[in-house]
Chains A and B, each alone.
Chain A
């Protein structure tokens, strides 16, 4: 057990916990964009920056990202110091320059009092390079997308911008994207994402689209549930079973 000081309040922390974890547990607000509890932290956005110091640091401080920095005994953390607020403003300013069309970023920037109107250079992109999609895809074991290129040309894409073989069209990347950058178009029969078209498995009772065939195959292989779990939609499962239960309970 370690004791640390956040904004002049004392908190207990477990060995190996990050500053962010301790702060969140104690309802101290630190803004984040790339953090997700189920995914490995990568420290991509730097919005969670806090200022730290120690008793024997002779007054020197440093700025670190709270989502990565593990706590240590006697750590003194400031989450709203002048330096921290200025850095967060800079981070948001750069993000505003990158994607002024993203409402999430605009709202955050407004909250932090830092809204500059920029001419966009990444034509309409809302990607903030948080890698949530890349990490979520990897978590599912598909690894269909990753960051390509460098500098201002950097973007998330499947290898060589080609059809990603390992993509199953689950749409997790589009769901998890905080700015709605990833385009996914669903019709009654198909889903188009990352320039690939996926066919849906349709409910054998009502014909509603369920999940993509590739995703069903992925689930069958990796999650080991019987095939007939994936043939009927939720609504039809319920109405079929309600009749079945009714007969049982008579």
Chain B
């Protein structure tokens, strides 16, 4: 992996363009409920971008009974292999960062997969609060 997904909270203005970009690309019709990144206000004019940490020893990967969560060797992201998921939802509760949420209609978990190495949120962030850094 050459670059690391990096959040720079001091640049974040809380405009939520990342959320919208993510839900446009990854969700259904830009439904914000399916965004894989969320902005949380943490103080006056302060925001924190919360998304997947792509943990090295990931809890979601270790709880999955069917190896439906696997690390992509190229991007180092933990990805959901939909075809292998049986919908037990263990990963959702296990994630210590509360990142994974369950798509009730499809019965599969939703999580950030770094868009295959070029995250859409990074491209759309107008304030350089999200970057791929070397």
* B39 (CB) vs chain A CBs: closest residue: A242
User: Contacts A234-B98, A235-B98: A139 and B93 contacting too (C-beta < 8 A)?
Assistant: no
- The A154-175 residues at the B interface (CB cut-off 8 A) are 170-172, 175
Cβ B83 vs Cβ A37 within 8 A: yes
Cβ B88 vs Cβ A238 within 8 A: no
* A130 vs chain B, min Cβ distance (A): 13
List the B side residues contacting A140 at CB < 8 Å. 65, 86, 88
User: Contacts A233-B98, A249-B10: A170 and B50 contacting too (C-beta < 8 A)?
Assistant: no
Separation of A246 and B40 alpha carbons in the complex (Å): 10
* B47 vs chain A, min Cβ distance (A): 8
- Determine if A195 is an interface residue (Cβ-Cβ < 8 Å): no
List the A side residues contacting B17 at CB < 8 Å. none
Cβ A37 vs Cβ B84 within 8 A: yes
Residue in A176, A219, A241, A243 whose beta carbon sits within 8 Å of that of B90 in the complex: A219
Residue in B9, B50, B107 whose beta carbon sits within 8 Å of that of A249 in the complex: B9
Interface string of B71-110 (1 = CB under 8 A from A): 0000000000101111111101111111111000001000
A residues contacting the other copy or chain, number (CB 8 A): 36
Cβ A237 vs Cβ B65 within 8 A: no
* B7 vs chain A, min Cβ distance (A): 9
Separation of A42 and B38 alpha carbons in the complex (Å): 42
Interface string of B52-85 (1 = CB under 8 A from A): 0000000100110111100000000000010111
Cβ B86 vs Cβ A234 within 8 A: no
List the B side residues contacting A38 at CB < 8 Å. 66-68, 83-86
Residue in B40, B83, B85 whose beta carbon sits within 8 Å of that of A238 in the complex: B40
- Determine if A236 is an interface residue (Cβ-Cβ < 8 Å): yes
Residue in A139, A175, A232, A233 whose beta carbon sits within 8 Å of that of B107 in the complex: A175
List the B side residues contacting A236 at CB < 8 Å. 98
List the A side residues contacting B85 at CB < 8 Å. 38
Interface string of A215-250 (1 = CB under 8 A from B): 010010001110001101111111101110110010
Cβ A229 vs Cβ B96 within 8 A: yes
* A229 vs chain B, min Cβ distance (A): 6
Cβ B98 vs Cβ A237 within 8 A: yes
* B49 vs chain A, min Cβ distance (A): 9
Cβ B95 vs Cβ A136 within 8 A: no
List the B side residues contacting A36 at CB < 8 Å. 83, 86
List the A side residues contacting B66 at CB < 8 Å. 38-39, 139
Residue in A37, A170, A175, A246 whose beta carbon sits within 8 Å of that of B48 in the complex: A246
List the B side residues contacting A241 at CB < 8 Å. 50, 97-98
A-B contacts, 27 of them at CB < 8 A, read: A37-B83, A38-B85, A39-B66, A39-B86, A136-B88, A140-B88, A170-B90, A171-B89, A175-B86, A175-B88, A176-B86, A176-B87, A211-B89, A216-B93, A223-B94, A230-B93, A234-B92, A234-B98, A237-B95, A238-B97, A241-B50, A241-B97, A242-B48, A243-B40, A245-B48, A246-B48, A249-B10
The 5 closest A-B pairs by CB, nearest first: A237-B98, A175-B87, A38-B66, A242-B40, A234-B98
